[in-house]
Structure 1
Amino acid sequence: MPFPNLKKIAFCYHHSVIVDQKAQFDEGRKILISPYALLWHDDQYYLAGNNEKYDSVSNYRIDRMKHVELTDLNARPFSEVSSYRECFDTLDYSRKSFHMFHGRQERIVLRCSNDLLEAIVDKFGSNIELSCHDKNAFTVRASVFVSDGLVEWLMQYGDRIVVLSPKSLKDKMITQVNAMRSAYQIT
């Protein structure tokens, strides 16, 4: 582990709630984590680390953290809760995350409209598996964290991205489309 003296941090983590028709922070909950990386996404800073309650990496918005304290407890090595061994690869981690949601890592296959090539390369990097699907589309294969954030990211492209696999992700997309149809009362 590159940082053998790394310590856990404790903080109170807050979410916004509506009180008297105004948004304000709730009372928050106490969290103890092993910190691994500071990330910037969509104009927000996030701390990636391991919450002692789980065997995974979670993300916490810095502006929602209050009463941060350094503890005397040794941090858990990231190699115990992620696929990273020598160093925590923030670029790879960010490319696999969507809207800073974390989920189970899975291999996905997407059919994408040719006009999305730049957006796909920007998100996944240039070392992804691409193949021509037909004259109007290409297929991309990538290993990502499947989460609600991924579904939201895919939804922004409408019919220009179609999930080919896994079936569980395709089913989540169909559920989301049906929920939107219902919300707008479209038959």
Structure 2
Amino acid sequence: MAKNSNQKLKLLYLYRIFLEKTDEEHKLTMSQILSSLSHYGIEAERKSIYDDIAALQDYGLDIALQRGRNGGYYIASRDFELPELKLLVDAVQCSRFITEKKSNELIKKVEALASEPQARALQRQVYISGRVKTMNESIYYNIDKLHTAISSGKKITFRYFEWAVDFSGTERICKRFRRDGGKYTVSPWALTWDDENYYLVAYNGESDQIRHYRVDKMEHIALSAQQREGQKHFREQFNVAAYTRKMFGMFSGEERTVRLRCENRFIGVIRDRFGSDLMLQKLDEEHFAVNVTVAVSPQFFSWIFGLGGAVRILEPDDVRSSFQKQLQHMTE
């Protein structure tokens, strides 16, 4: 066997060859393995490759051998199966908060978890959606800072903006910071995902309330030396999943228990919105009633309206009246 400086790397290159070139549908014969090693400047004997494969198997790499025609050595199992990787690629591609640039970078990294033939299948799996991607590249670092603040139990400061139209010169969309650019100081407790956006759920000591903030609209996030507050709200009575179910489009409003009259065929819609732990009451052969807790807001009314009369508000009367007023305002 020829001796050169690359011989010490032979086992590592063999490991790479198996990961990149083989899967259940693509196998390498011993001749092909030797040829692949030669591309890295490594000449080897068959016996040494048998020993190396045994060493890799002992290390935990699932190398299998299929004998016969079209047989050869291949990786029989990986940490991620191809369908799982396709799901990850789709999730990255469809996420609105991930920029197009970062989407491409993440997909490349996901492809590295598969063999080269499987990676090509992943590329075919990717589709370009017409949805708007965020332009805020710093959101990934913001999320990391927020996780750090939550785990360390520290308050944070940040500036918060909303999108506005600037008509002072050339009409354009611009940022308009709330509080005239002043900083918010809150106690972060959880990150949640709703309507394709990340939200920080936090305790605001100034108002003594639980508030949420869209992460891609937060800038200049910094950890404070102060310990966070709001332990009573979050440890005794707060459930993040229940909180997000109450919010429609994550718009705040007064929390009320509302009784709804629903057509039976819309049970799936109600379950998807409010969960499966619901107490239903039969009204007649075609309708049921259910009590749900919601944040009463124009977005909640829009959700009711969008169901075309199949779901109606029965109680309380003031919420019914507010809904009717919004409908009248819209028609006017």
What TM-score does the superposition give when structure 2 sets the normalisation length? 0.50
Q: Distance in 1 between matches of 2:210 and 2:296?
A: 14
- Alignment of 1:151 onto 2:301: yes
- Asked which structure has the greater RCO (Cα within 8 Å, sep 6+), the reply is 1
Q: Distance in 2 between matches of 1:130 and 1:157?
A: 19
> For each residue in 1:122-174, what CA deviation from the matched residue of structure 2 results, as whole angstroms up to 9, or x when unmatched?
11111111111222221111222223332232222131111111122111110
Cα shift at 1:99: 1.2
Structure 2 portions without partners, runs of 5+ = 1-149
Give the 4+ runs in structure 1 shifted more than 3 A.
none
> For each residue in 1:31-66, what CA deviation from the matched residue of structure 2 results, as whole angstroms up to 9, or x when unmatched?
111111111111111111122221221111111000
Counterpart residue number, 2:230? 77
Contact 1:7 1:72 in 2 (8 A): yes
Aligned runs of 1:87-106 on 2, under 5 Å? 88-106=238-256
Q: 2:192 aligns with which of 33, 39, 47?
A: 39
Q: Distance in 2 between matches of 1:132 and 1:117?
A: 12
SS of the aligned residue for 2:177 comes to: coil
Contact 1:39 1:47 in 2 (8 A): yes
Q: Distance in 2 between matches of 1:61 and 1:78?
A: 22
Cα shift at 1:77: 2.1
Q: Distance in 1 between matches of 2:218 and 2:151?
A: 25
Counterpart residue number, 1:9? 156
| Larger fraction in helix | 2
Q: Distance in 2 between matches of 1:106 and 1:27?
A: 31
Cα shift at 1:4: 9.5
| Larger fraction in strand | 1
| Residue type at the aligned position of 2:276 | S
| Residue type at the aligned position of 1:63 | D
- Alignment of 1:23 onto 2:176: no
Task: Tell me which moved more, 54-63 or 100-109.
Answer: 100-109
Q: How big is the alpha-carbon RMSD for the aligned residues of Structure 1 and Structure 2?
A: 2.0
Percent identity over the alignment is: 31
Contact 1:111 1:161 in 2 (8 A): yes
Structure 1 portions without partners, runs of 5+ = 183-187
What TM-score does the superposition give when structure 1 sets the normalisation length? 0.86
Contact 1:11 1:68 in 2 (8 A): yes
